[in-house]
Amino acid sequence: MAATIRYHEGDISEPDAARYRGAIAIDTETLGLVPRRDRLCVVQLAPGGGTA
């Protein structure tokens, strides 16, 4: 199964925002383990229901 990758800079579009209404899963990655020091580099959103 191939994933669809959407790149967003700033706010997400209205159609994509509608997809995530209700519950949303958020996964983040940083460049280290200290949140105040290490930059956020990846944010992944999933609408739930076992999809990623």
> How many angstroms separate the first and last alpha carbons of the chain?
11
pLDDT in tens, 3-27: 677 777 777 788 877 877 777 788 8
Mean pLDDT of 31-48: 87
pLDDT of residue 23: 75
CB 20 within 8 A of CB 45: yes
Q: What is the DSSP code (8-state) at residue 44? A: E
26, β-bridge pairs:
45
Q: Which residue has the higher pLDDT, 50 or 17?
A: 17
pTM of the model as a whole: 0.53
Q: How far apart are CA 16 and CA 14, in angstroms?
A: 5
